[in-house]
Amino acid sequence: MALSSLSRPLTHVASTKLYLSYSTSFSFPSILNPHPHNNNTNISPLNKKWQINVSFFPAFFNKTKDPTPIKQELLQAIAPLDRGADATPQDQQIIDQIACRLEACNPTKEPLNSSLLNGKWELIYTTSKSILQIQRPKILRSRLNYQAINVDTLRAQNMEGWPFFNQVTADLTPLNAQKVAVKFDYFKIAGLIPIKAPGRARGELEITYLDEELRVSRGDLGNLFILKMVDPSYKVPT
């Protein structure tokens, strides 16, 4: 999840910042039933048809919208955008609109209480310029960004791929069943040299969509983060 962008800019080391049931039912009064106590065959065909139609409504309104087509549309839209680095303002608006539609049919209403959040996620799209490092030549940008989360320990970890391999770990504090406060504790330069994070290295993140393969999050600075699951067994170092 893209644990959120920080409230204040840090040095480059901080570029690994974390990007970190309703059931509709109808109760029909008995007066609407033409024969509440009579189930014999004297009911007219018209009344039978009416009763069948009435029984259809609860099933229709209880039906959960399938997010699969919207997920496919979202993945197709972000595929040519180099994780967001090549996105125009119009592209960003389109992606945000699709993401909003997907969030509206989120199957996991309390993601911080779900084991689906655990594991290692790959960032596949973001609007965060600091994570995309668009001010640098492409050859000097991180080509892969991962985030791991453990709900049971409330720990998170961000990892950059080549060429820097930087890492950052953080403590998570739930604010509600969807939102966490993020406090970064240690950065690792090149994955080896630990540096204690400054006290201002904080942020917030809301998880707005979660299933077993895709996660959508929004940070406190308004950035959008879309991640795909790559290793559900991964554990964040304590």
Verify that 143 and 86 share a domain, yes or no: yes
pTM: 0.72
Verify that 198 and 97 share a domain, yes or no: yes
Domain count of the chain?
2
A 10 A CB-CB count for 138 gives 10
225: containing domain: 12-20+67-231
Verify that 36 and 122 share a domain, yes or no: no
Verify that 140 and 43 share a domain, yes or no: no
Verify that 152 and 224 share a domain, yes or no: yes
List the structure tokens of 37: 């106590």
d(CA 17, CA 157): 9
Q: How far is CA 138 from CA 100, 121, 185, in A?
A: 30, 22, 29
pLDDT by residue for the chain (238 residues), tens only, comes to 445 443 333 333 334 444 543 332 222 232 233 333 444 444 444 444 434 343 344 434 445 589 999 999 999 999 999 999 999 999 999 999 999 999 999 999 999 999 999 999 999 999 999 899 888 888 878 889 999 999 999 999 999 888 777 889 999 999 999 999 999 887 677 666 767 767 767 899 999 999 999 999 999 999 999 999 999 999 998 7
Verify that 126 and 202 share a domain, yes or no: yes
- N-terminal to C-terminal alpha carbon distance within the chain: 19
Verify that 175 and 210 share a domain, yes or no: yes
Verify that 98 and 216 share a domain, yes or no: yes
Verify that 105 and 214 share a domain, yes or no: yes
Question: Which residues are CB-contacts of 216 (< 8 A; sequence separation ≥ 6)?
Answer: 99, 102, 103, 207, 208, 209, 210, 224, 225, 226, 227
